[in-house]
Amino acid sequence: MGEFPGGIDARQHEPVTRPPRGYVSYGERKPYVVADSLDELSGPTRGVVTLPHRLDWSGHPEYDLSRPARLASMYKVVLTEAATADDLRAWLSGDVLLRLWPTLWLPPPLRRRWEERFPDLAATRADAA
């Protein structure tokens, strides 16, 4: 077992299952942007919006904010892909973010950074539990 015809040992070509020592995942290295204040987030709260390609390259960048699933999806995209605080200010609302926070699926490092800056966000998760 483990040998091919001709004596080639397949075990030498098995994939490595562990990351190398000192490896830091992309999620931990990604420079997520965090707002300075929830009050400064004054993005749209209704209507249909189209995110710029730099934020949403999915091919479906239109979001009907009256549809809860699309609203949550847009917030996830903006939070994970924003490159500047201006991106956050333009597309997010602090009040809506507080309401959605406990239900958003976000990378743990991003969630941690936002909750460290804004304990009110962490409190919404505790209240929802």
Task: Kindly report the backbone phi and psi dihedral angles of residue 115, in degrees, each rounded to the nearest multiple of 5, phi listed first.
Answer: -70, -30
Q: Tell whether 14 is covered by a domain.
A: no
Residue 11: pLDDT over 90: no
The pLDDT value recorded for residue 20 is: 79
Total domains, the chain? 1
Q: Is residue 57 one of the residues assigned to a domain?
A: yes
Q: What is the pLDDT of residue 121?
A: 94
Let me know if residue 100 belongs to a domain.
Answer: yes
Q: What is the pLDDT of residue 125?
A: 77
In a domain, 3, yes or no: no
Is 20 within the bounds of a domain? no
Express each pLDDT in 42-78 by its tens digit: 999 999 999 999 999 888 899 999 999 999 999 999 9
65: in domain: yes
77-118 pLDDT, tens digit per residue, is 999 999 999 999 999 999 999 999 999 999 999 999 999 999
Q: How confident is the model at residue 27 (pLDDT cuts 50, 70, 90)?
A: low
| Spatial distance between the Cα atoms of 75 and 39, rounded to a whole number of angstroms | 16
Sign of the Cα pseudo-torsion (106, 109, 114, 118, in order): positive
Q: Which amino acid is present at 45?
A: T
Task: Report which of residues 1 and 124 the model is more confident about.
Answer: 124
Task: Give the pLDDT confidence score for residue 28 in this predicted structure.
Answer: 67
For residue 124, what are its two tokens? Answer: 């919404």
Give DSSP secondary structure letters for the chain. Answer: --EETTTEEGGGGSPP-SPPTT---HHHHS-----S-GGG-B---SSEEE--TTT--SS--EEETTSHHHHHHHHHHHHHH--SHHHHHHH-BHHHHHHHGGG----HHHHHHHHHH-HHHHHHHHHH-
Range(s) of the domain holding residue 95: 25-128
Residue 119 confidence (pLDDT) above 70: yes
Question: What average pLDDT is seen over the chain?
Answer: 87
Confidence of residue 4 (pLDDT cuts 50, 70, 90): low
